[in-house]
């Protein structure tokens, strides 16, 4: 049975979180002489001399409306990478506990595990890039605290079978983290609405992809109130800066524009799939629920290097498990996609002459 208290590190349970200036009073205030800020302002037209809201209440209220969940189920991080790191620090005892990942997958799970001295166990995906449930189950022991599932998966682009994810959620007594960074481009619905069903569920999303706010660095974690409270104990007091909070609030007013961009990107993704599928040097174009496609192509490294000479940067994933001779291609603008296709055709002609 899932027991959050047993999963949480003892030092975290005993931790008294840092209390910022803005935590120590409620209501409205006019004179702030509590945080040793520069009361004379800053050298910008808009002053940023005051510390930001440490709990990002306005953003959480807006996200609450968009996502259909209460604000106390939301944690905001300085990018999803901070959310990932904080989950390790909350629930994994260094040098003792382990987590499970399913490669090929997002590389920061493993990097963050190493930073936190947490053992990584790997249950590689099957050849169709779906979960190997038997292998995954055999890796679990009493010290397995987190299972990381990326869906839609990076770098493969496919969504994991929902019934397989539910199987893991129903049978694992630790925390299951579903990274939905690319969910806005997918046919599959988000697991955010399943939080009431699964107390061990944590869902990661981001504003870096569909929302086009990668430069602002804001990641979202959705989980039970109890899990969010543990994460809030560990986070830095002012982890989301004031400029990001202001710009994110403006962006969240433009849901319609974002939906239009998502539709256009999906249409362009499908057009790229069709074009690449017809190229003689392309062996496989894998199905994608993301804003990128994974393409298996002869001499992928040489193609990658040729495209660099044209000023076009892709991601060579050939050294990743199950992705031999594969390039990951982000859907660009219409002009960028055309430049890529033209360069690929130039490569093919150069190899046949």
Please tell me the predicted confidence (pLDDT) of residue 252. Answer: 98
Neighbours of 166 (CB within 10 A): 15
The two tokens of residue 302 are 């040489």
Burial category of 327 from C-beta neighbours within 10 Å (exposed 0-12, middle 13-18, buried 19 and up):
buried
Position 183 scores a pLDDT of 98
Q: How far is CA 189 from the centre of its chain?
A: 16
Task: Give the ranges where the chain is alpha helix by DSSP (H).
Answer: 4-7, 10-13, 57-67, 80-91, 108-115, 133-139, 162-171, 225-234, 242-251, 255-277, 300-309, 334-352
Residue 110 has a pLDDT of 98
Q: Which residues contact 188 (CB under 8 A, 6 or more apart)?
A: 151, 152, 159, 162, 289
Instruction: Quote the tokens at residue 248.
Output: 């994110």
Query: What pLDDT sits at residue 26?
Result: 73
**What pLDDT is recorded for position 24?**
75
Cα separation of 204 and 164, whole Å?
Answer: 18
Q: What is the pLDDT of residue 160?
A: 98
2, 140, 228, 236, 240 from 243: Cα distances, Å: 39, 43, 24, 17, 9
How much is the pLDDT for 27? 74
Tens-binned pLDDT, residue by residue, of the chain (353 aa): 899 999 999 999 999 998 887 777 777 778 888 889 999 999 998 999 999 999 999 999 999 999 999 999 999 999 999 999 999 999 999 999 999 999 999 999 999 999 999 999 999 999 999 999 999 999 999 999 999 999 999 999 999 999 999 999 999 999 999 999 999 999 999 999 999 999 999 999 999 999 999 999 999 999 999 999 999 999 999 999 999 999 999 999 999 999 999 999 999 999 999 999 999 999 999 999 999 999 999 999 999 999 999 999 999 999 999 999 999 999 999 999 999 999 999 998 888 87
């Amino acid at each position: 049975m899932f027991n959050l208290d047993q999963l949480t590190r003892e030092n975290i349970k005993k931790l008294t979180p840092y209390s910022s200036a803005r935590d120590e009073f409620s209501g409205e205030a006019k004179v702030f002489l509590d945080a040793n800020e520069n009361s004379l302002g800053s050298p910008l037209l808009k002053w940023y001399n005051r510390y930001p809201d440490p709990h990002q209440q306005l953003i959480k209220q807006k996200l609450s409306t968009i996502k259909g969940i209460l604000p106390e189920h939301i944690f905001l991080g300085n990018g999803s990478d901070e959310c990932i790191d904080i989950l390790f620090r909350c629930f994994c005892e260094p040098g003792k506990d382990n987590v499970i990942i399913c490669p090929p997958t997002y590389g920061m799970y493993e990097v963050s595990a190493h930073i936190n001295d947490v053992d990584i166990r790997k249950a590689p995906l099957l050849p169709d890039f779906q979960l190997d449930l038997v292998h995954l189950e055999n890796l679990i022991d009493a010290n397995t605290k987190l299972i990381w599932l990326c869906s839609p998966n990076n770098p493969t682009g496919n969504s994991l079978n929902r019934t397989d994810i539910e199987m893991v959620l129903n049978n694992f007594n630790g925390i299951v983290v579903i990274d939905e960074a690319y969910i806005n481009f997918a046919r599959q619905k988000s697991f955010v609405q399943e939080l009431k069903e699964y107390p061990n569920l944590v869902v990661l999303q981001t504003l870096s992809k569909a929302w086009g706010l990668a430069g602002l660095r804001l990641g979202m974690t959705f989980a039970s109130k109890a899990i969010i409270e543990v994460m809030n104990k560990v986070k830095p007091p002012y982890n989301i800066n004031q400029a990001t909070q202001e710009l994110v609030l403006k962006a969240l007013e433009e849901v319609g524009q974002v939906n239009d961009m998502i539709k256009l990107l999906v249409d362009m993704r499908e057009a790229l799939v069709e074009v690449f599928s017809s190229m003689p040097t392309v062996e496989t174009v894998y199905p994608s629920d993301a804003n990128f496609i994974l393409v298996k192509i002869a001499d992928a490294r040489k193609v990658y290097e040729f495209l660099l000479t044209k000023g076009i940067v892709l991601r060579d994933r050939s050294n990743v498990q199950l992705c031999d001779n594969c390039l990951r291609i982000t859907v660009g603008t219409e002009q960028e996609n055309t430049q890529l296709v033209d360069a690929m055709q130039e490569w093919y002609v150069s190899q046949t002459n």
